[in-house]
Chain A
Amino acid sequence: MSVLINQQSKVIVQGLTGGEGTFHAGQMLEYGTKVVGGVVPGKGGSTHLNLPVFNTVAEAIGQTGADTSVVFVPPAFAADAIMEAADAGIKVIVAITEGIPVADMVRVKSFIDTKSTILVGPNCPGVISPGKAKIGIMPGFIHQEGSIGVVSRSGTLTYEAVDQLTKLGLGQSTCIGIGGDPIIGTTTLNAVKMLMNDPDTEGIVMIGEIGGSMETEAALWIKEHGTKPVVGFIAGQTAPPGRRMGHAGAIVGGKDDTAEAKMKVMRACGINVVDSPANIGVTMKQALGK
């Protein structure tokens, strides 16, 4: 089992014909993901990568039975693409696009809250259930099928953690890149809950960063309801306050959203917090008693 996606997920690519969409759709197909079509307004009726292209998400669902979408639409149009997918009844939307204006995401959040859709991202590497499906831009080959769930706000830092796990023989059940923006669909807590409830996940790696309070909320929940070992890391222990560290969401705004404060709460909630990101893999191995 896995969370969010599996072998049966039927995926449409919003923005299929663009550079990013084309490249990563190809990679997803190669990985074995069931990509069934693309949505590009104005290009309906054509084919791309041997996939049918539709004008609207609703049409794509009608023709292909898609239940999942991945969004590569440019920032100015991405919010609209997400809302269209949610409105059409897509169950899981993975938004890869980086640079969506926050004001647009305020509207998306409000819109999505009235639907039964789960949004992952934006500004994220996507979701992968190794050996089953890859919906996103992560390099497939570093992953291995297994029982560790990974939730992270970052891209390459997640790959780093996954690589450590795989090299220690710890495969992954599902890796969820939740994204680095201030407003995202699936929060750290949402992702941790899913993985905690997944019978095939034995341990969870939770990678956060400065800014916001998502890791603190997840830690407090884990303290009360956690049933599996959790290894945690917060990036940005050396980040100065008030400066944006690349990710739009990575900015220290007060005393509670520093790396130090978050790591303290996580430790107090029984999470195995590592100071160095080099120790994520080995610490998980120890926590599992392997």
Chain B
Amino acid sequence: MNIHEYQAKSILKRHGVIIQEGIVASTPAEAVEAAKTIQGQTGSQFWVIKAQIHAGGRGKGGGVKVAKSLDEVRTISEKIIGMNLVTPQTGLEGKGVHKVLIAQDVYYPGPTSRLEFYMSILLDRKSGRNVVVYSPDGGVDIEEVAAKTPERIFREEIDPAYGVLPFQGRRIAYNLGLTGSVALKMVSFVENLYKSYLSVDASLFEINPVLKTTDDIILAVDAKVNIDDNALYRQSEILAMRDFSEENPYEIEAGKHNLNFVKLDGNVGCMVNGAGLAMATMDIIKLSGGEPANFLDVGGGANAQTVEAGLKIILEDPNVKAVLINIFGGIVRCDRVANGVVEAYKKLGNIKVPVIVRLQGTNAEEGKAVIDGSGLKVYSAITLKEAADLVNRHVA
């Protein structure tokens, strides 16, 4: 699950990380009020208006602007709230902006030089540990830094038994070119960032940039968080932060039926039991001349209700020209699944595209007989190859 920048910053602040202060607003009027409050609290002369969407690269799409007066706060907010923001991470269709963060200006002039760093904590799958990944080159696309100057990216592995040890924090600070009291502020920053990461069961907590201000404060200007879905059962506060407007409505609907669904752009819908087989089925569709319209794992219980719910969601997509149901019966029996398909098909009625049902495993032949004897426009298959050929015949 993802959350917004303003939500991520509230988590950081609670754990002692200094942040660029801000107030979220849903209307231009709220934005102006927020700007006044921020000015009162921080003395900020300017404001940064930041679109709140679940995607990076917002600045490049025109979703982050500086306002130098309250009038500008209003006019810029008017433009950003309600805009469809296209960034390198949103895809061409972009994302609608419903909220903006009115943030204090932290790029003010001062006695020391201003520095921008990159820092994230994330799960390293290879070592099975969390690592701090950081670079003295912040405020830019970190993928680009990794590609062009990999030696400018550092890693510090965290032992789960000890957390970030003080010497590790100092090493990070020194590698970032900091010395003296400001280096110690960086040590606290890293420790508190790790606390934030753990507290919400994050799998990524990324701060880009981490800013050293001209008066030697270390603070988080931006924040991006991915939360481990498996841990949501113990993260009620995070669950309450869920923004349904950021999600695909079909995926929300599928979730209500405990179906694991991801919307894609192709023309062949598919419904499969098991995530690995579902991915493999998408690959078969592609090799057969089609393009998968979705990923859909119905899990262990492929019965009439789940098949009906799944078919309904798949068929709402006008691009779908055929549907492939692929069930490997282990514990679940194929004849039961076949009866479920027939029942769901009749209940939905008026299905205009061919439905191909591939049943293999326990009672596969009996399942095929049920499909073939149903009199419906449903094609049956037993081997994967037969299913692939049927897909090819109907869409290629």
Q: Check A238 against B233 for contact (C-beta < 8 Å).
A: no
Query: A156 is contacted by which of B130, B276, B285 (Cβ under 8 Å)?
Result: B276
0 or 1 for each of A65-109: is its CB under 8 Å from B? (1 = yes): 000000000011000000000000000000000011111011101
Query: A159 is contacted by which of B126, B260, B330 (Cβ under 8 Å)?
Result: B330
Q: How far is the CA of A276 from the CA of B362 in the complex (A)?
A: 23
**Which of A4-12, A39-47, A147-155, A222-230 lies at the binding interface?**
A147-155
Q: Check A99 against B230 for contact (C-beta < 8 Å).
A: yes
Query: B262 is contacted by which of A102, A138, A233, A245 (Cβ under 8 Å)?
Result: A245
Kindly state whether residue B241 has any CB partner on chain A within 8 Å. no
Q: Check B260 against A248 for contact (C-beta < 8 Å).
A: no
Q: Check B203 against A102 for contact (C-beta < 8 Å).
A: yes
Closest Cβ neighbor of B130 among chain A residues = A106
Contact residues in B for A142 (Cβ distance below 8 Å):
330, 361
Q: Check B276 against A244 for contact (C-beta < 8 Å).
A: no
Q: Check B274 against A157 for contact (C-beta < 8 Å).
A: yes
Q: Check A246 against B260 for contact (C-beta < 8 Å).
A: yes
Kindly state whether residue B169 has any CB partner on chain A within 8 Å. no
Q: How far is the CA of A287 from the CA of B285 in the complex (A)?
A: 26
A75 in contact with B230 given A106-B123, A156-B274 (CB within 8 Å): yes
Interface size classification for chain A? 35 or more
Q: Check A137 against B331 for contact (C-beta < 8 Å).
A: yes
Q: Check A210 against B279 for contact (C-beta < 8 Å).
A: yes
Q: Check A235 against B283 for contact (C-beta < 8 Å).
A: yes
Q: How far is the CA of A161 from the CA of B285 in the complex (A)?
A: 18
A235 in contact with B128 given A102-B228, A182-B123, A276-B287 (CB within 8 Å): no
Contact residues in A for B128 (Cβ distance below 8 Å):
105-106, 109-110, 183
The smallest C-beta distance from B239 to any residue of chain A, in angstroms, reads: 14
Query: A157 is contacted by which of B262, B280, B285 (Cβ under 8 Å)?
Result: B280
Q: How far is the CA of A260 from the CA of B309 in the complex (A)?
A: 32
A139 in contact with B286 given A163-B361, A240-B264 (CB within 8 Å): no
Q: How far is the CA of A139 from the CA of B274 in the complex (A)?
A: 14
Kindly state whether residue A131 has any CB partner on chain B within 8 Å. no
Q: Check B198 against A103 for contact (C-beta < 8 Å).
A: yes
0 or 1 for each of A265-290: is its CB under 8 Å from B? (1 = yes): 00000000001111000000000000
Q: Check B229 against A152 for contact (C-beta < 8 Å).
A: no
Q: Check A236 against B283 for contact (C-beta < 8 Å).
A: yes
Q: Check A276 against B276 for contact (C-beta < 8 Å).
A: no
Q: How far is the CA of A138 from the CA of B362 in the complex (A)?
A: 12
0 or 1 for each of A158-170: is its CB under 8 Å from B? (1 = yes): 1110010000000
Q: How far is the CA of A55 from the CA of B219 in the complex (A)?
A: 50
Q: Check A248 against B284 for contact (C-beta < 8 Å).
A: no
Q: How far is the CA of A153 from the CA of B276 in the complex (A)?
A: 8
Q: Check A249 against B125 for contact (C-beta < 8 Å).
A: yes
Query: B362 is contacted by which of A139, A160, A212 (Cβ under 8 Å)?
Result: A139
Q: How far is the CA of A106 from the CA of B202 in the complex (A)?
A: 12
Contact residues in B for A138 (Cβ distance below 8 Å):
330
Query: B276 is contacted by which of A23, A99, A110, A157 (Cβ under 8 Å)?
Result: A157
0 or 1 for each of A210-242: is its CB under 8 Å from B? (1 = yes): 111100000000000000000001011111101
Q: How far is the CA of A103 from the CA of B226 in the complex (A)?
A: 13
Q: How far is the CA of A160 from the CA of B284 in the complex (A)?
A: 13
Q: Check A160 against B283 for contact (C-beta < 8 Å).
A: no
Query: B331 is contacted by which of A139, A163, A213, A240 (Cβ under 8 Å)?
Result: A139
Closest Cβ neighbor of B297 among chain A residues = A246
Q: How far is the CA of A158 from the CA of B279 in the complex (A)?
A: 13
Kindly state whether residue A193 has any CB partner on chain B within 8 Å. no
The smallest C-beta distance from B51 to any residue of chain A, in angstroms, reads: 19
Q: Check A245 against B279 for contact (C-beta < 8 Å).
A: yes
Closest Cβ neighbor of B272 among chain A residues = A156
Kindly state whether residue A180 has any CB partner on chain B within 8 Å. yes
Contact residues in A for B287 (Cβ distance below 8 Å):
275-276
13 contacts between A and B (CB under 8 A): A100-B230, A101-B201, A110-B128, A137-B330, A139-B331, A157-B277, A212-B125, A213-B125, A238-B282, A245-B279, A245-B295, A276-B284, A276-B384
Given contacts A105-B128, A141-B362, A238-B286, 9 further A-B contacts (CB under 8 A): A102-B203, A102-B228, A137-B331, A236-B279, A237-B286, A244-B262, A248-B229, A276-B283, A278-B388
